[in-house]
Amino acid sequence: MRIATWNVNSVVARLPRLLDWLGTAEPDILCLQELKTSADGFPTDELADLGYEAAVHGTGRWNGVAVLSRVGIADVRRGLVDEPGFQPEDALLEAHEPRAVGASCGGVRVWSVYVPNGREVGHPHYDYKLRWLQALRATVQVELAAAPFAVLGDFNIAPTDADVWDPAAFATSTHVTPPERQALAELRALGLVDVVPRAMKHDTPYTYWDYRAGAFHKNMGMRIDLVYASTGLADSVRDAYVDRDARKGTGPSDHAPVVVDVDLSPAG
């Protein structure tokens, strides 16, 4: 089975690229982030033509997540356990941003997540990010009972200094602060494995490059798109890669897809 994740930075703007990539990479399950469209505006028919069902959580021009599957979709859940809103009144209005969706696909329980950016240290959005990560941990703690399990997506956190092109350039920025990295460590401590570095067994490519200043061509990137899997699923991983080619050309997303191949056969 091939499982992948991709922040497409607008599924409508990136639709031709998405359809082409699906036809080439042929993932069985694809987690998408930053849809920037409502569920009604999601290209369900175009994806169905390629054999994919979709579980979508999107409300408009910002955020949005989805799970695509050609091995079936069941038990869809939108949102996290005790998920916080950005503003205090959001919880009262149930105005949660669409940042997490879970589904069972072909015997694997997956969650597609788009962790809040945080903007800058000390900003209310940074506090929101940390609270949101607490809710993600609470959700994963419950969902891990369903195995095999994986949570994939744009975490907006580089796990280590090796996952950014220049740690000094991020010394006072979000994405690398101790509280954010501690939140990731606490998530892994539930029994999850960061499978891509283990599978690749060498320097893991970045997954995100800013559009500005020729960052992609200079490889000034970050590894913030992650695949965290339960131990059993992690042990079944046979290969993984970051598809840099999908970041090339005209009009790409600023993220590249991350692809993981697993062998779920009894002898796998």
Residues forming the annotated binding site for Mg(2+)? 7, 34, 154, 156, 254-255
Is 255 catalytic? The answer is yes
Of the residues 114, 128, 206, 228, only one is catalytic, namely: 114
242 phi and psi, to 5 degrees?
-105, 125
CA of 158: how far to CAs of 7, 119, 124, 171, 224, in Å?
15, 15, 20, 12, 5
Of the residues 28, 126, 154, 206, only one is catalytic, namely: 154
Q: How far apart are CA 259 and CA 245, in angstroms?
A: 13
Q: Are 19 and 35 in contact (CB under 8 A)?
A: no
Give the residue among 248, 256, 183 at the shortest CA–CA distance from 225.
256
Give the residue among 217, 220, 206, 212 at the shortest CA–CA distance from 255.
206
Q: How far apart are CA 215 and CA 73, in angstroms?
A: 37
Is 114 catalytic? The answer is yes
Query: 60-69: b or e for each residue (b if 16 or more CB lie within 10 Å)?
Result: eeebbbbbbb
Q: How far apart are CA 240 and CA 243, in angstroms?
A: 10
Is 163 catalytic? The answer is no
| Active-site annotation, residues | 114, 154, 255
